[in-house]
Amino acid sequence: MGLSRREFIKRTAALTAASYVGMNLPIKESGKAEASDGTTWHRGTCRLCGTGCRVDLGVKNGKAVALRGVTDSRTNMGYLCMKGMLFYKLMGHPDRLTKPLYRASKSEPFKEISWDEALDIASKKFAESVKKYGNDSVAYYGSGQALTEETYIFQKVMRAGLQTNNVEGNPRLCMASAVGGYITSFGADEPIGSYANLELAKCFFIIGSNTAEAHPVLFRRIMRRKLDHKDEVKVINADPRVSPTSRIADMHLQFLPGTDLAMLHAMAYVIIEEGLTDKDFIENYAVFRIGKDKKQVDFEEYKKFLKDYTPEKASRICGGNITPDKIRTVARWFATSGGTVSLWTMGINQRKRGVWANNLIHNLHIITGQLCKPGADSLSLTGQPNACGGVREGGGLCHILPAHRLVKKDKLRHQVEDLWGVPRGRIPPKPGYHTMAMFTAVNQGKIKAMWVNCTSPAQSLPNCDLYNKGLAREDFFLIVTDIFPTRTTEYANLILPTAFHFEKTGVYGCTERRSQLTRKAVNAPGEAKPEVWIVREWAKRLARDLNDPIIARTVAPFDGLEEDFALPEAIWNEYSQKLTKGRDNDLRGATYEVLSQMADGVQWPAPTREFALKGGTVIKFVKGYDPLATEHSKDDKPYQFYGPAHPDRKLWVWLRPYKGPEEMPDLEYPFYLSTGRVIDHWHTSSMTGRITELMRANPYAYIEINPEDAKRLGIKPGDMVEVASRRGRNLLPAKVYEGPVKGMVFVYWYDQAESRMINKVTKDAYDPGSKEPEFKICACRIRRVSGPEPLQPFLVELK
Amino acid sequence: MPIAGFVITVMPEDIHKVTETLGSMKNVELHGDDGKGNIIAVLDTETSEDMDKLVKDINRVDGVLSAGLTYFNAEDEVERMDRGEYVPSRSFGNKPLFPE
């Protein structure tokens, strides 16, 4: 790089950064022509969390070389994090899968085959299984990282083509309890408000979320709000582990894992006892319910119920640093702030009582009226870029069809069949296996062929050794579509290489109901193909092998379209124009043409082009903001809770009794084990582990131990520690650190090394409502095995 | 040789102390602050790995709350990779499928 070019890039970097904070630098903006010399900028979003950061990818000579934020974007205001900065390195990485690979037996090595052969095998194996063992002997397991077009087309072929609802995805492992919470509390899935509330809030209640590391760009917005209004804005961080998120907190509530239900009830107790409720809001919009039969009770009954959760009693249950005074203080802050935003992620969702925990946060918002107004929201943060858009909205779970339709509702199922032009009765009325039941069915030999797309259950399922026995069965045929080898490709018979982000076109829908388009900017390496092409070509072969023209009909509208743009656009059009029409996530205004014009996409509902071009709905259910609130208005009240699950059009305050975790520490396994992320790595590290910079920063997982526990057990920093549960064990270096509460240990779950895969140890108990596993809490024991040992980082390569 | 533009946010009362520390760091070029705790910095390092390490070091400086990336250019590194002058480390696994 010549000096002038280099100086020019440095100037651009300085000017870009300065423009974010409204500073004028004494640098001339000369040389713009040089800037554009050879570099083209392509629109898209980051794919390494659920925030939905808008990025432009700079491409020079066909290679991704630069990234910049987009200041007009309402998700990230232009800011990016380090994971986002380095993801361009995955394009063209030497480990990328570039050819279809096949082996008949899992004991054989893979051999390269052509796409024609691969698709024939994929079709033949699924067809054989359907003919011999029935439609429910096949399954699809997808991902919150798949584009909406991909999830939609996969589930369409599975349901209307292969006539099975065995359609699941990894959002079951992270978001299902949030879905259950929103539906049972508010009557409709997904948040009412938007990130826009972060700049208006007066109180942040961050519970079960290490926002600073898992959602750094959103954390930056929260932090900025706090810094600019230090005395006015309160930040409460509630978590059994002190994390980098705690550093801006006015109060950190550190409780024993799983006891937060009692704490949340105690906050409600204080709010009512001190007369801090919003009586008008409750009277107009809320009802109180209890039990499986959703029995309606009155406010007095709720008050009576809460008497079991006085701050004094709750503080005894919660342990840690929780005192009655702390509970009283945060309850007052929450209720009287003038605008409270709650934020949470897996600490709330990945629980035996995840739905209830979600309900209890919503309860606080309902009784204080902290909803539907600027600066107030109950906002579940998403971990993956398209868990909301693709899986929750696109029909990617076993019980839901596209656009929030329940499989079991005949009317809704028939609507979908009619819209797809397939005979009524084609989609089975019974939901398929949820994730844990699906992999149990694999173990039992009931599922004979499965397609895993863009995820790695062999590492990410709780108690994974148990389920990997099923994946290893020779009578179980496994297809994996991915960009890199993973722990799951080790069990595959057929591996199909796919295009990565910016190597294909499609839509991601992030946390705040916002859909954004990423367009193809660079070619995929080797023979890697977009999933939409793979599914279309596979479905045509399935129609042939099963002699079933209806299967062909599922992809007929897309036949012959080129795969980089026309094909995903046609799939998006079918989904948005036909399937979302008249539904609460109406996306008809959000065409590719509109999405291509917007700095930051469109928030649904957005039924018309004109409305979508204004950005869509910032606050759901509020007349004047949400067109459906006006359309479905039944009275002159400003808020209309038209969600499909609550025919009474009310918000439901739930009387959910306190229940602890499934597995409590005891004499044999005296510690709580919890798991989570570290800033450099994402999920199973199949991507971030291949970015040398990130891997070297965190080459292997640690076990975090509270200093008091470490001292008692004679464990020093770096010592090798065995962590064991009733299910499995790991051997990890110790990080002695005032992070986890005393009596709890914490392990990062990204590491692929056999001895450090913590999901061998976690428990596969799951929430009876959401079916989401309780990754966050189980009982374990720890012991020092040796002093520090030299360790090697590890990533799977194909053998 | 990657170049990046950052907005480094600090507690406003720490701005002088932090600016002094950042100013003494190699490969960090400061372009002033906005009076609200936002410092404009350009980082220019030999490799992306050095960049990552430098950002971590900045985050560890007492008083720094966050380093927000706004622009990143690594065209030089990509060109070197293309010309075969720079081979990024392979992953850390054991046996490759197709030994070269």
Say whether B95 and A12 touch across the interface (CB within 8 A).
no
How many CB atoms neighbour CB B90 within 10 A? 14
Nearest-CB residue to A1 (from B1, B36, B55): B1
Say whether B65 and A692 touch across the interface (CB within 8 A).
no
Rounded CA separation A398/A437 (Å): 11
A-proximal residues of B, 31-70, CB under 8 Å: 31-32, 34, 36-38, 40-42, 44, 48-49, 51-53, 55-56, 65-66, 68-70
* Confidence label for B12 from pLDDT (cuts 50, 70 and 90): confident
Strand A405-406 versus strand A400-401 pairing type: antiparallel
Rounded CA separation A463/A465 (Å): 6
The pLDDT of residue A32 = 44
Q: Does B74 touch chain A (CB under 8 A)?
A: yes
- Pick from A23, A97, A225, A523 the residue to mutate for testing the B interface (most B CBs within 10 Å): A23
The pLDDT of residue B71 = 87
Rounded CA separation A702/A731 (Å): 9
Rounded CA separation A612/B77 (Å): 40
Q: Is residue B56 exposed (0-12), middle (13-18) or buried (19+ Cβ within 10 Å)?
A: middle
Q: Does B25 touch chain A (CB under 8 A)?
A: no
Cβ–Cβ under 8 Å, residues A555 and A549: no
Catalytic residue list contains A384: yes
Domain residue limits, chain B: 3-82
Q: What is the DSSP string of A294-352?
A: TEEE-HHHHHHHHGGG-HHHHHHHH-TT--HHHHHHHHHHHHHSS-EEEEE-HHHHSST
Enumerate the residues of chain B whose CB falls inside 8 A of the CB of residue A92. Answer: 81
Closest residue of B to A61, CA-based?
B79
- A79-88, A268-277, B2-11, B88-97: range with lowest mean pLDDT: B88-97
The pLDDT of residue A10 = 87
Rounded CA separation A348/A177 (Å): 8
How many CB atoms neighbour CB A244 within 10 A? 17
Closest residue of B to A7, CA-based?
B3
Q: Which two tokens stand for residue A436?
A: 């844990």
CATH fold of A176-381 reads Dimethylsulfoxide Reductase; domain 2 (3.40.228)
Q: Nearest CA to A724 among A713, A714, A732, A716?
A: A732
What ipTM goes with this model?
0.88
Helix or strand holding residue A226 (H, E): helix A216-228
A515: three-class secondary structure by DSSP: strand
The pLDDT of residue A3 = 53
Phi, psi for A556 (deg, rounded to 5): -55, -40
The pLDDT of residue B87 = 63
The whole-angstrom distance between A82's CA and the closest CA on chain B is 7
The pLDDT of residue B91 = 41
Say whether A223 and B82 touch across the interface (CB within 8 A).
no
Q: Nearest CA to A315 among A239, A262, A261?
A: A262
CA angle B87, B89, B95 (to 5 degrees): 115
Rounded CA separation A439/A336 (Å): 47
Q: What are A212-253's pLDDT values in tens digits?
A: 888 989 998 998 899 889 899 999 999 999 988 888 899 999
Q: Does B86 touch chain A (CB under 8 A)?
A: no
| Residue A88 DSSP symbol | G
Say whether A82 and B72 touch across the interface (CB within 8 A).
no
The pLDDT of residue A93 = 85
Whether CATH 3.40.50.740 fits A101-171+401-558:
yes
Rounded CA separation A122/A785 (Å): 46
Catalytic residue list contains A83: yes
Question: Of A174, A203, A744, A780, which is the active-site residue?
Answer: A174
Residues shown for chain A: 799
Cα distances from A664 to residues A596, A642, A669, A673, in angstroms, run 51, 40, 9, 10
Mean pLDDT, rounded, of chain A: 94
Q: Which residue(s) pair with A779 in the sheet?
A: A672
Q: Which two tokens stand for residue A183?
A: 């539906």
Per the omega criterion (within 30 degrees of 0), is the bond before A605 cis?
Answer: yes
The ranges of chain A with pLDDT < 50 are 1-2, 30-35
The pLDDT of residue A39 = 84
The pLDDT of residue B100 = 31
- CATH number belonging to the domain at B3-82, selected among 3.90.230.10, 1.20.1260.10, 3.50.50.60, 3.30.70.920: 3.30.70.920
Q: Which two tokens stand for residue A39?
A: 């570099």
Q: Which residue(s) pair with A496 in the sheet?
A: A481
Q: What is the DSSP string of A372-423?
A: SSTT-EEEEPPSSTTIIIIIIHHT-STTEETTTEETT-HHHHHHHHHHHT--
CA angle A546, A547, A551 (to 5 degrees): 75
Nearest-CB residue to A94 (from B29, B38, B90): B90
Domain residue limits, chain A: 1-28, 101-171+401-558, 176-381, 671-786
- CATH number belonging to the domain at A671-786, selected among 3.40.50.720, 3.20.20.70, 3.40.630.30, 2.40.40.20: 2.40.40.20
Closest residue of B to A58, CA-based?
B73
pLDDT at B96 over 80: no
Rounded CA separation A171/A388 (Å): 9
Nearest-CB residue to A79 (from B34, B53, B69): B69
Rounded CA separation A658/A317 (Å): 10
Q: Which residue(s) pair with A41 in the sheet?
A: A58
pLDDT at B90 over 50: no
CA angle A777, A781, A786 (to 5 degrees): 130
Q: Rounded to two decimals, what is the model's pTM?
A: 0.92
Alpha-helical segments (H) within A393-530: 393-394, 410-420, 435-443, 457-460, 464-471
